[in-house]
Structure 1
Amino acid sequence: MTEFLYAIDDFMWGSWMTALILIVGIVLSIRFGFRYQRKIIFNFKNTFGKIRSGNEGEGTISGFRAACTALANTVGTGNISGVATAIVSGGPGALVWMWISAFFGMSTKACEIIIGQRYREHYKESMNEYVCDRSFVLKNAFGWKKGAVVLAVFCFLFGPWTCSVQTEAVSSSMSEAFGIPSFVSVAIIGITCLVTIWGGLKRISSVMSKAVPVMAVLYILMGLGVLILNFSQIPAVIALVFKSAFSPTAAVGGFAGATVRDALQYGVARGIYSNDAGTGYGMIAHASAKTDHPVRQSLWGWGEVCLDTFIICAVTAFTIIITGSYYTSDATSGALTTIAFTKAYGNIGGKLTAIAIAVFAWTTIIGMYYTCEKSVNYAFGDTKTNKKMMPVYMIYYMIPCVILYKLEADVLWAFTDILSAVYVLITIFIIVARHKEIFRLFDDFWKRYIPAKEKGENPEFVTFDCRE
């Protein structure tokens, strides 16, 4: 079974998939004039700069809370455990390919958010919430109702299984740092996650808007400390990272070496799992946001990808490489990152990392629940049955998290990679098929809406509710 999963994983994330992802990101970036990459000041002012000023337009929660719900998916163990497995399998050069895919992935992520806002529905009867996911788009944009139902069932049945990588990372890191039995760590994660998701979107977004930023800042500070303590090694590490991205990495110690293909494959795969650019999760989390124009909400995609991959993933990778943990230890996943910070700071470093992994995993499991819930919402519609199914699905969702964590980390990541690849293919198809509508809204925002705002005019909000 393990070999079978590895074979599928290798095929799904082969050269054709990485090429497809990069090409789509490059083409979109060119079409957008690299606005998501170069309009940094504008992007910042219209996202983080408006956290306290409220939001105009229709929606369920603020743009910031929607972004934090999305960040709960992205800023998680993918930044810690995923980066560790990428370096172990693809070598230090995997980090460069993470950065490259993230740079162009900003445009892909923006498209997801625009689509989520464009094809969302307002569920008034069962939950009073704006909702969207891939199934809603298949129905509202293409009229494929039967295919949308099949996809929804697939997502809410198998989506929870990907969270096993979260609980595996927690159990391995907590065992490494504190000697806590795995079942204890998993039980605590399971109970606290269930209590949080029981409160619905508003509780989830409220908790995420507090927990995600605080934990992200603390983890970044830990990583910066490692760089400061080992400042003289930074030039050599940067040289190694870029050299390994474009030439084979020799075997060192317990590290078996890696080819350029390995670096590319694992860098792109883990990068996408970490920042979600191209997976379709962006359209789900941002569909509920209050905004005056879909493209304004899409600016949050820049912040998510930048914080996730260019900063947090880099912190993990540099720590693992500077300490040499990837070739002096046989560990992988969260345990490897814990060992790296232990080498940097002593026992306190390992303990703080284990806590960070636990919090990141906790927020990711909660954020992922919200995305899976939308598939349930689609399958049962805006009915009383939908409302009744929520508690049942919450219980089902937590079962794989607290049972499958005992599997080997590589097996769990292989399964997660396969599901991610399926989501990526569906999302890229949607983006390509609806590119004219995406570009129409993009051009409307930059050529009509923003110029009108700058002139002091009050153009009407551009909002959508496909059901109406």
Structure 2
Amino acid sequence: MEQLTEFIYAIDDFMWGSWMTILILVTGILLSVRFHFRYQRSVAFNFRNTFAKIRSKGEGEGTISGFKAACTALANTVGTGNISGVATAIVSGGPGALIWMWISAFFGMSTKACEIIIGQRYREHYKESMNEYVCDRSFVLKNAFGWKRGAVVLAGFCFLFGPWTCSVQTEAVTSSISEAFGIPSIVTVILIGVTCLVTIWGGLPRISSVMSKAVPVMAVLYIIMGLGVLVIHVQEIPAVISLIVKSAFSPTAAVGGFAGATVRDAIQYGVARGIYSNDAGTGYGMIAHASAVTDHPVRQSLWGWGEVCLDTFIICAVTAFTIIITGAYYTSDATSGALTTIAFTNAYGPVGGKMTAIAIAVFAWTTIIGMYYTCEKSVNYAFGDTEANRKIRPFYMIYYMIPCVVLYNIEADILWAFTDILSALYVLITIFIIAARHKEIFRLFDDFWKRYLPAKERGENPPYVTFDCRENVKSTNE
């Protein structure tokens, strides 16, 4: 077991070495420049076309509203990565890891937008087995490149190993619940398993409906908790900011339970945990947003801006500041969700720890459900729009839950290392797809800003730009 652990750590270190960090950052930078930083600077426009229209189903073709699709995506992004993931990043990379989370997220807005555009462009409408618009990396390999055999292999890999990444969710929940309430881990795991299974059993309609209610409410409550900590320790904020910035660009000395970190550690863990937290570059965006009702793929891509902002610039920052400003970073040798729980306990007393444990539990619960939806798309591809696809899904739901309820007691660092490895593989595939189909992405981007949107603003009614690759035709003309 010790040799296996060392092997996993070695692969993790290689996959998230300097070359991966450079690849992710350079990809985001180049895309942002090509997009003229539209996703970063057009804040008012982005808001008007996303959060300001959460009650609108939208125009065009699709299965669920753009808001529900975004909440399904946010179920993946706003999760324990924001709480336990940030904690492990700070423990391993120092406070400066937060800066590198922000840097990768800033440019990652453009990367995530590309994922969403690709998902809308190469999606298929499964009419027989589920009446749903679907897409993932396998659909793109087939519809964009014609690589049917490679797509099947990728689909098999994703639906077999994807569920194993959820073990980090249950580990975070059990550790924090145990820390705050003293409830046995087995009880927590059983409760998570049963409630998640009941929810995913209802398919996309139930998943999207639950996510559109649970994710926003829990995110707001957690942010309020974090802001309360900042208010209590307002005089210490300048010193914390100084520490975070300094640690991002110079080695961090060992203090308390922290062993110290190099700048390379700060970059590596900041980018890796940032990617896991906001999914900018992993390809999950193309899966969750493919089902959205929209009149143009680029309009739906604006939701990527909101997801990254809420996830990394706000919620991750709340966690990092709380861990540092309450002294948990200096005094505790805990990691993962337990460290964040201790931080809020230091701020609010026992009630703070209990509130954090509940937040972690809800975030993990929504992430497990959101991850199921992304894994299920690989099953959908493998079995096609057939009766077999409809029949196999209940069995896959059970298989999906097994790692969640079995691997919760493995050491957190090992679980995160395994999750990092899978995330790195997804990133490589996604960046390849973006690079290979960049001309089509840029064509759609330019079409929206130079033709479609100006026509709408003039009061015209240009045809919707929507796609269904199963029909092998675009549902509207150019």
TM-score (norm 1): 1.00
- Does residue 352 of structure 1 match 2:383? no
Distance 1:311 1:419 in 2: 26
Indicate yes or no: 2:145 matched with 1:146.
Answer: no
Aligned equivalents of 1:305, 1:435: Cα separation in 2? 21
Secondary structure of the residue aligned to 1:159 is helix
Q: Percent identity?
A: 87
1:389 aligns with 2:395: no
Structure-1 residue corresponding to 2:449 = 446
Superposed, 1:294-443 pairs within 5 Å as 294-443=297-446
In structure 1, C-alpha distance between the alignment counterparts of 2:14 and 2:97, rounded to whole Å: 18
- Amino acid across the alignment from 1:129: E
| Mapping 1:196-215, distance limit 5 Å | 196-215=199-218
CA contact 2:57–2:64 (8 Å) conserved in 1: no
Aligned residues between the structures: 468
RMSD, aligned α-carbons: 0.4
Equivalent position of 2:287 in the other structure: 284
Taking the aligned partners of 1:112 and 1:422, their CA distance within structure 2 comes to 15
Partner of 2:7: 4
For residue 326 of structure 1, report the CA deviation from its aligned partner. 1.9
- Say which of 61, 65, 77 aligns to 2:80: 77
How far apart are the structure 2 equivalents of 1:449 and 1:218? 38
SS state of the match for residue 305, structure 1? helix
Residue 228 of structure 2 corresponds to residue 225 of structure 1: yes
2:58 partner SS: coil
Aligned to 1:456: 459
Consecutive aligned runs of 4 or more in structure 1 exceeding 6 Å deviation: none
User: Does residue 187 of structure 1 match 2:190?
Assistant: yes
**1: CA distance between counterparts of 2:315 and 2:384?**
38
The equivalent position to 1:275 in structure 2, one of 275, 278, 281, is: 278
Partner amino acid for 2:138?
Answer: S
Q: Is the 8 A contact 2:56 2:65 kept in 1?
A: no
What corresponds to 2:474 in structure 1? none
| 1:365-387 alpha-carbon deviations (Å, 9 max, x no partner) | 00000000000000000000000
Question: Over residues 91-123 of structure 1, what are the superposed CA-to-partner deviations in whole Å (9 max), with x where a residue is unaligned?
Answer: 000000000000000000000000000000000
Unaligned runs of 5+ in 1: none
**SS state of the match for residue 122, structure 1?**
strand
Task: Calculate the TM-score normalised by the size of structure 2.
Answer: 0.98
Is 1:55 paired with 2:47?
A: no
User: Does residue 67 of structure 1 match 2:70?
Assistant: yes
State the distance in 2 between where 1:349 and 1:131 align: 41
Deviation per CA, 1:64-106: give whole Å up to 9, x if none: 0000000000000000000000000000000000000000000
The reply on whether 1:173 has 2:189 as its aligned counterpart is no
Aligned-partner Cα distance in 2 for 1:40–1:244: 29
For residues 267-309 of structure 1, the C-alpha deviation after alignment (integer angstroms, 9 at most, x for no partner) is 0000000000000000000000000000000000000000000
Deviations 1:322-348 (A, max 9, x none): 012123111100000000000000000
CA deviations over 1:352-377 (Å, ceiling 9, x no partner)? 00000000000000000000000000
2-structure distance, mates of 1:96, 1:81? 17
Alignment deviations for residues 115-136 of structure 1 (CA, whole Å, 9 cap, x no partner) = 0000000000100000000000
Confirm whether residue 129 of structure 1 aligns to residue 116 of structure 2.
no
In structure 2, distance between residues paired with 1:327 and 1:305: 29
Q: Distance in 1 between matches of 2:430 and 2:418?
A: 19
- The separation in 1 between residues aligned to 2:56 and 2:375, in whole angstroms, is 30
- Could you report, residue by residue, the CA deviation over 1:384-406 in whole angstroms, capped at 9, with x for unpaired residues? 00000000000000000000111
Aligned-residue offset at 1:194: 0.1
Q: Partner amino acid for 2:207?
A: I
Distance in 2, Cα, partners of 1:346 & 1:289: 43
- SS of corresponding position for 1:130: strand
Partner Cα separation in structure 1 for residue 330 and residue 241 of structure 2: 17
| CA displacement at 1:254 relative to structure 2 | 1.4
Which residue in the other structure is 2:122 paired with? 119
* Cα pair 2:57 2:293 within 8 Å, conserved: no
Match of 2:104? 101
Separation (CA, whole Å) in 1 of partners of 2:57 and 2:76: 23
Cα distance per residue 1:398-449 (max 9 Å; x no partner): 0000001110000000000000000000000000000000000000000000
Matched with 1:259 is 262
Alignment-mate amino acid for residue 440 of structure 1: R
Corresponding residue SS for 2:125 = strand
Report the Cα offset of residue 253 of structure 1.
Answer: 1.3
Unaligned runs of 5+ in 2: 472-478
How much has 1:51 moved relative to structure 2?
1.2
In structure 2, give the amino acid aligned to 1:101.
S
Distance 1:314 1:445 in 2: 33
> In structure 1, what is the Cα distance between the partners aligned to 2:193 and 2:129?
26
Kindly state the Cα deviation for residue 53 of structure 1 after the two structures are TM-superposed: 3.0
